Amino acid sequence: MSIFDSVRDFFTPARPLPAGVLHFQSPEDDEVPYRLHLRMHGDGSSLLVVNASTVLHLNPTATEYAYHFIKGTDENEAAEAVSKRYHVKAEQALQDYQIFSERIDSLVHTEDVDPVSYLGFDRVAPHSTGLTAPLRLDCALTYELPKGASADDAPTKRVDRELATAEWTSILDKAWAAGIPHVTFTGGEPTLREDLPELIAYAEEKGMVSGLLSDGLKLANAAYLNTLLQTGLDHLLFLLQSEKKKSWQALEAIMPADLFTTVHLTITEKNADNIGETLEKLAALEVTSLSLTCTPDQDETLLSAREQAARLGISLTWDLPVPYSAHHPITLETTKEHFPDGAGKVWLYVEPDGDVLPMQGMPDQILGNFLHDDWASIWKNK
C-alpha cells in the first residue's frame, strides 16, 4: 500500500493552497517601508499587490512562493514544501524561490523599476483578468466644501445622510475582510471631517494603503500635515487650482514632506493659455506624478500638455479618483456609454451614506449599501 500510495501521489495533480488573503507590512526600521497583499484564488492562482500600485498575477507555484515569502518561512523549508507539492527537485525549487524573492525585493526597493524589462514578469493588460474584489475603495466622507469654494466644484449631492466615524470604520472592516487593500478618502473636501486622522489611523492599523484626495489647503498647516503623516497617510492626490496663489503655496509646503503626491489638473478655457508655464512650475517643485483631464474643447491642449510633461520627466496617472460635480468639466467627459475600464472592477466608490457606485458620477447605478448589504451581493451587482 505504501508503494501504491507513493505512485498515486506522484501522478495526482498538486492540490493548490486554499483561497484566502494574506498581508505583510515591513518592519518600522526597514529603509523602504512597503506592504504586500496576497489574494489567493481557489484554483491556486493569485494576485500579489505591492504597495497598492503594482499588481502581479501569479500561477500556483509562484503563489506558494509568495505565501512563504509573506509568512517568513525559511527558504529551505519553503523549497522543500514546493518540491513535495509539485514533484520537482528540491535544488530547483530552492533556486526558483530565491529568484522570486530577489525579484520582489527589487520591486519593493528600486524606485520605478519596470517589472517587464528588468524582472522578467509577463505583462497582463490592465483590467483584463477577473477579480474577486476591487483593488481600491474610494470613500466620499462628505459633500461639504471649504467656505468660499465655488458651488460649481461641489459634488452632485444625491443623499442627505453623512456616516458617523464608527460606521465608516465598519465599512473599512468589511472592505478589509473582502480583500480590498487600498482606500482613498475623498469628498467634497475630506479634511473638513474632524475624524479624518482617526479614519486614516484605523486603515493603517488594519494594514491598508490609504490615500487622500484634497485641495490641500489645510495641509499647508505643518502641524495638521504631520498629524496625517503620523497616522499613516500613504499618498495624496492634490487638486491644483492653478489660478489661485494659496493653492501653489499649499503645494510648496507639501512637496518637501515624506508623502507621495500626485497633482491633479483640469485644463479649461480659463487656464489653457498658461498650461506650459504651469507644468514648468510643477517640475520646479519636483512634482513627478500628474493626473490630467480637460473640457471637451481642450483636447489639443491636453495632448500638448502630455508631451511637455513627458519632456519634463513628469509621469501621467489616469486611474486615480478625481472630483465630480454637476458642472465640473470631468462630468462632461463621462457618459453612461463611456467610462474608465476599471470602474466597478478595479475600484468602487462609496457615497457619504454608504451607497456603493461603480465610480463617482454614476448616481443611477447603485450596487448596494456597504452598511446594510453583504459584500457578496454588492460585488455580484457590479
Residue 14: the pLDDT is 64
Q: Angle at the Cα of 162 (from 176 to 204), degrees rounded to 5?
A: 30
Q: Which helix (H) or strand (E) holds 248?
A: helix 245-254
Domains assigned to the chain: 12-119 (no CATH), 136-380 (3.20.20.70)
Residue 336: the pLDDT is 42
Q: What is the Cα–Cα distance from 11 to 13, expressed in whole angstroms?
A: 6
Q: What is the Cα–Cα distance from 134 to 297, expressed in whole angstroms?
A: 33
Q: Are 238 and 261 in contact (CB under 8 A)?
A: yes
Q: Angle at the Cα of 103 (from 181 to 311), degrees rounded to 5?
A: 80
CA-to-CA separations, 101 to 41, 64, 105, 107, 154, in angstroms, rounded: 21, 12, 6, 10, 47
Q: What is the Cα–Cα distance from 369 to 129, expressed in whole angstroms?
A: 26
Q: Are 90 and 79 in contact (CB under 8 A)?
A: yes
Nearest CA among 74, 39, 81, 45 for reference residue 62: 45
Helix 75-86 and helix 60-71, axial crossing angle in degrees, nearest 10: 150
Residue 320: the pLDDT is 74
Residue 127: the pLDDT is 60
Cell of 96: 526558483
The CA dihedral of 110, 113, 116, 122, to the nearest 10 degrees, is 60
DSSP single-letter state for residue 19? S
Residue 278: the pLDDT is 97
Over its length of 382 residues, how does the chain's per-residue pLDDT go in tens digits? 444 444 444 444 567 788 888 988 888 778 778 889 999 988 888 888 888 778 888 888 889 999 999 999 999 999 999 898 888 899 999 999 999 998 888 888 776 666 666 566 666 666 666 778 888 999 999 988 888 776 566 667 778 889 999 999 999 999 999 889 899 999 889 999 999 999 999 999 988 889 999 999 999 999 999 999 999 999 999 999 999 999 999 999 999 998 999 999 989 888 999 999 999 999 999 999 999 888 888 889 999 999 999 999 999 887 777 655 433 444 444 444 445 666 767 889 999 999 999 887 776 789 999 999 999 999 988 7
Residue 346: the pLDDT is 82
- In DSSP notation, 23-92 reads EEE--TT-SS--EEEEEE-TTS-EEEEETTTEEEEE-HHHHHHHHHHHHT--HHHHHHHHHHHHT--HHH
